[in-house]
Amino acid sequence: MHVTVDITDDATEGFNRRMRVEVPEERIANDVNEQLESLIPTARIPGFRPGKVPINMLARRYGRQARDDAVKKLLYSTFQEALTREGLQLAHGPEITEMNADPGTGLTYTVTLDVYPNIDVPVVETLEIRRPVAEVTEEDVDRMIKTLREQSKIWSKVDRPAAKGDRLMVDFESVVTDKAEENALVETTTPDTASSSEPAALEMMKAEKVTVELGSGTTIDGFDEGLLGANAGEERVLDLRFPDKFYRPDWAGRPVRFTVNVRSVEEGTQPQTDEELVKHFGVRDGTMETFRAETRKDMENKLAFALRAETNKRVVDILLTNNPISDLPKSVVTREANVMSERRRNQFASVGIDLNELDLKPMHFEQQARQQISQNLLFEKLVSAANITVDPGKIRERIEVLASDHQDPKRMVAWYYEDEKRQIPVKMMVLHDQVVDWVLEHAKVTEENISFDALLNPSSNTFTADDANASGEALPQDRQES
């Protein structure tokens, strides 16, 4: 039965659509009759044996409810039919208005929605992708054990000035100023310029009980150095500048003043012997050989994860570069930016940072939101064109990997399978990997040898914005954009 769709473009960005949908009465009647007929075997009405109740009797008793149910179902199904017929992909909405379903008149309604742009299937055969490859060497294991030894320090408070290698617990407040303000500080101010100058934009934040290991290289330039020689209870003011490639682009290169209060100074003591180190990590047989083997295994697992993440990033970057989507529905960008902003707020709140001091407005996440939405659209096109479906075996493998760190892995695996909704994030990760693998199979791929250190050195201070999102660590961490 024909469903009439009349669609017009509104002027809003070119992504807004208004559709007028008309469903004939005959289609509603057929749905109602199907519902009523399904009641015949079980309906119990005085004077009639089970299975013998006339349908007109059922219509008088249950007809109104059956019609309401039919209309609700048809609202959804005919809207989906209209989208398919017009080749539209829903981005935001729908908002249904002007609905009428009076008996005998059929169903009519107006629906307003935002749609995604219609994009072409990305051409992948001409893409040139450098795929990173790496292995864990004995030298890598040596460096990792040295790092683990450093991380195994036992910290004790000391009553002396802070030195390199000490750990400080600090509270700090920071004021991020505009570049123009710094320039203004060194310029000669005249009555004319003073009257015309505008106040510089200030952004403030503060955090409490932040630990800083002096000399670790994890803070922005000058922060560690500015705390050398500080004593517990001392306050220091540090005038610094964020790196030009900072994970927050709006702070990159800007001057910042930190007012730091030192709560305590601590000195670390490393395990002096291999036996002490192995005991510290609870190695089952207490031997260095086993410790090295377990360390290598852990490094290989982390390397595999990092290689996959870096490969995925390179594939996504080249897809976005070669298939730019210049415009997207503002409603969708705003929604995604709100989600990203809230996620970041939760991450900072989890480490005790005062959110009132942070400028985490959704507007700061709009560019990242556009990239994520564009990636999703391109991947959806590839999934459809290549007929890629999620591999249940790979879902199981991923769940087992995620559960391996749990105290009871089998129970954790069972938890995922108790409710299919719990598997949705895992399915999305697996599908993402499958799309990347499909691209790699069809693109021009060359291998690029890379060291474990370059890819996954725990002491490196070069991180992407995504790393900062995932970590939620307190500023002034030197999280640079690579």
Please state the domain count of the chain: 3
Residue 463: per-residue pLDDT: 33
Check whether residue 308 and residue 442 sit in a common domain. Answer: yes
Rg (CA), the chain: 31
Cα separation, 369 vs 132, in Å, equals: 27
> Do 445 and 323 share a structural domain?
yes
What's this model's pTM, rounded to 2 decimal places?
0.68
Q: Is 134:253 a contact under the CB 8 Å cutoff?
A: no
Q: Are 225 and 303 in a shared domain?
A: no
Q: Is the peptide bond before 476 cis (omega within 30 degrees of 0)?
A: yes
Domain contains 123: no
pLDDT of 442 reads 95
Same domain, 385 and 455: yes
Structural domain includes residue 477:
no
- What does each of the 482 residues of the chain score in pLDDT, given as a tens digit? 455 666 655 544 578 888 888 888 888 888 888 888 887 787 777 777 777 777 777 777 777 888 888 888 988 888 888 888 888 888 887 888 888 888 888 888 988 888 888 889 999 999 999 999 999 999 999 999 988 888 888 899 999 999 999 999 999 998 988 754 444 444 434 444 444 444 445 677 788 889 999 988 888 889 999 999 999 999 999 999 988 887 777 788 889 999 999 999 999 888 888 888 888 888 878 888 999 999 999 999 899 999 999 999 999 999 999 999 988 888 889 999 999 888 888 887 776 666 666 667 888 888 899 999 999 999 999 999 999 999 999 999 999 988 887 888 899 999 999 999 999 999 999 999 999 999 999 999 999 999 998 998 744 433 333 333 333 334 455 444 44
Give how far Cα 126 sits from Cα of 294, 375, 377, Å.
Answer: 42, 18, 20
Domain identity same for 107 and 182: no
Domain at 17, CATH number: 3.30.70.1050
Q: What is the pLDDT of residue 45?
A: 76
User: What residue numbers bound the domain in which 210 lies?
Assistant: 153-269
Same domain, 212 and 323: no
Q: Is residue 409 part of a domain?
A: yes
Confidence at residue 187, expressed as pLDDT on a 0 to 100 scale: 43
Q: At what angle do helices 288-322 and 366-386 cross, to 10 degrees?
A: 90
Q: Say what the pLDDT of residue 364 is.
A: 84
Domain presence at residue 280: no
Shared-domain flag, residues 435 and 370 = yes
Residue 476 in domain: no
Strand order in the sheet with 90-100: 4-9, 16-23, 107-115, 90-100
Distances from the Cα of 360 to the Cα of 357, 436, 467, angstroms: 9, 31, 17
Residue 3: predicted pLDDT:
58
Question: Is there a single domain that holds both residue 347 and residue 404?
Answer: yes
Does 95 share its domain with 35?
A: yes
Are 415 and 312 contained in the same domain? yes
Residue 279 domain-assigned? no
Q: Does residue 34 form part of some domain?
A: yes
- Listed residue (179, 171, 180, 198) closest to 241, CA to CA: 179
Helix H, strand E, coil C: the string for 173-215 is EEEECCHHHHHHHHCCCCHHHHHHCCCCCCEEEEEEEEEEECC
Q: Which domain CATH number covers 347?
A: 1.10.3120.10
Domain check: are 385 and 438 in the same one?
Answer: yes
Q: pLDDT digit string (tens) for 148-184?
A: 888 888 899 999 999 999 999 999 998 988 754 444 4
What is the rounded distance in angstroms from the CA atom of residue 269 to the CA atom of residue 229?
A: 19
**C-alpha span between 160 and 165 (Å, rounded):** 13
Residues 352 and 320 in one domain: yes
Say if residues 455 and 132 touch (Cβ distance below 8 Å). Answer: yes
The C-alpha atoms of residue 340 and residue 354 are separated, in whole angstroms, by 18
What pLDDT does residue 219 have? 86
Q: How far is Cα 10 from Cα 434, in angstroms, rounded to an integer?
A: 38
